[in-house]
Amino acid sequence: MFTPASRYHGSESALYRPPDGGEPVPYVRRRFLPDPAELTPVGLHTVGEGDRLDRVAAAAFGDPELFWQLADANPVLDPAELTARPGRRLLIALSAAAGGSVHGF
């Protein structure tokens, strides 16, 4: 259902069946953040002026769509916080489910 680069890859899907007997609605079950102990640290990135998560992910993972791995490794309520302050250090980490190589770090 989702590409391997998606944070929802491997997530279970389910059907909501309305109580009125209406058409069932497919949905993806909730995704929980991984346990930090299950992440594999592979580097650090110091946020520079104008940095964006997609660009940091492209440099770190070779794919800008893997920005969610940065959010998983550096939990905040709003992902924009991760690059809002130059000088902040971001952990670059792979989840147990993440495959592939890391570029640039």
Helices (H), 1-105: 53-61, 67-73
User: What H or E segment, with its residue span, contains residue 90?
Assistant: strand 89-94
Question: Mean pLDDT in runs of 10 for the chain (105 residues)?
Answer: 84 94 94 87 96 96 93 91 97 72 53
In DSSP terms, 47 is beta-bridged to: none
pLDDT value of residue 75: 85
pLDDT value of residue 101: 47
SS3 94: strand
pLDDT value of residue 102: 56
pLDDT value of residue 34: 86
| Neighbour-count burial of 3, counting CB atoms closer than 10 A to its CB (0-12 exposed, 13-18 middle, 19+ buried) | exposed
pLDDT value of residue 98: 55
